[in-house]
Amino acid sequence: MTIRIAYNPLSFSMTEDGYKPEITPPLPTILAAVSAAGYDGIHAEIPADITPHTYKAMLGDYGLSPAPGYFSANFADEVAVADALERARRIGSAHAKLGLDRIFFADRFGAIPERIVTPAQGVASDRETSLLAASNMERVARVLVAEGVVPCLHPHIGSRVETQGDAELVLDNVPPDLLMFGPDTGHLAWAGADMVEMFTRYAGRIGAVHVKDYHKAVADEVKALGETYDDAVRKHIWTEPGRGNIDLNSPLQAIAGFDGWMVVEVDLADQPTVEQSAKISIDWLRSHLAAATGQRH
C-alpha cells in the first residue's frame, strides 16, 4: 500500500479577512515552498493560461506530482448542474492528462446560506432536496468517470453535505463505482461525525483524504455566540494536524490499508508563516502515519 502526501496551497491566499487571490505568490514560489517542506505532491489546480502537460512538467521540475483537485457545484440547482456536466468533461479530461484518477467532489459551499450563518449543525436539512442533489451528483459523476476520473464525495461545513448523515445519504444512494469517499478530518470532526465509524464503514471506498485539525474551543465559542463560518475561520478554528483536538490517530488506524493521496489542508495557517505551517503538518503526518500503518511515508 502506498500513501502519498500532498499540500493544498490555499493557505497562501487566505487571510483573517477571507480569501485574497491578489496576495497569492507566483506558482514557482509556491511549488518551491511545498517541495522544500517535503511533500510528494500538490493539490491540482491548472492555471487557465497553461496546458495540463505544461503544468505537470512544472510540478516535476520541483519534484512534485499532481494530487487530486476539487470539483464543486450546487447539485440541487438544475441550471447549475447543466454547467457542471460541461465542466466535468473539461476538468475530468484535464485530470486524466495529469495522470490522476480521483478528484474531490463537493456540493457548493454556501448553497444553503443558513449553514454559513449557523455552521456545523446541519441546519435547514431537507431530505427530498438532498436526494435530488445526490441524483444529480450521480449524473455528473458519470461524466467524470467516463473521462477516467472517479469523484470522491467531500463533506464540507457550509455545504449541503455537512454532517455524517448528509454524507451517508449521498454515499448510500450513488453506486460505489461512480462515487468514492473523500473525507476531510477537520470538517467531519467539527460537524460531530464519528470518523472511526465512518472510515471503517467506507474503508474500501475512500479514494482521497483531506487532513486538518481543529480547535474545539473555537467551535464551542462560535456556537455559543451564534457566530458564522467566516467568524470561525477568522478565529483560527483550523490548525495543523496534531495541534488541535481531533484524535487523528484513531481514524488513521481505521484506514491502515488506504492506498492514495492524503492532502494537508489548513486553510488559514495557524503558524506565523505558511511555510512553517506546511512543514509542521507534514512532519506530524509522516511520523503518525508510520505509527498507524507500519509504513514509511
Query: Could you tell me the CA-to-CA distances from 250 to 50, 125, 288 in Å, in that order?
Result: 41, 29, 10
Q: Write the pLDDT tens digit of every residue in 114-157.
A: 999 999 999 999 999 999 999 999 999 999 999 999 999 999 99
**Can you give the pLDDT at residue 293?**
65
**Can you give the pLDDT at residue 294?**
63
Distance CA 24, CA 20 (A): 7
Structural domains of the chain in order of their starting residue, each with its CATH number: 3-293 (3.20.20.150)
- Residue 116 identity (one-letter amino acid): I
Q: Write the pLDDT tens digit of every residue in 82-124.
A: 999 999 999 999 999 999 999 999 999 999 999 999 999 999 9
Distance CA 54, CA 49 (A): 10
Residues 6+ apart with CB under 8 A from 219: 120, 190, 232, 237
**Can you give the pLDDT at residue 70?**
98
CB 31 within 8 A of CB 64: yes
Residue range 5-12: mean pLDDT, rounded: 98
3-state secondary structure of 197: helix
Distance CA 172, CA 162 (A): 15
Residue range 11-20: mean pLDDT, rounded: 96
Distance CA 183, CA 178 (A): 16
Q: What is the mean pLDDT of the chain?
A: 96
**Can you give the pLDDT at residue 84?**
98
Residues 6+ apart with CB under 8 A from 140: 71, 73, 75, 81, 84, 85, 88, 151
**Positive or negative torsion for Cα 163, 248, 66, 19:** positive
Q: Write the pLDDT tens digit of every residue in 205-255.
A: 999 999 999 999 999 999 999 999 999 999 999 999 999 999 999 999 998
* Cell numbers linked to 223: 456556537
CB 202 within 8 A of CB 181: yes
Is 295's pLDDT higher than 60? no
Determine the length of the chain: 297
pTM of the entire predicted model: 0.97
3-state secondary structure of 211: strand
**Positive or negative torsion for Cα 99, 208, 257, 165:** negative
Residue 291's pLDDT band (cuts 50, 70, 90): confident
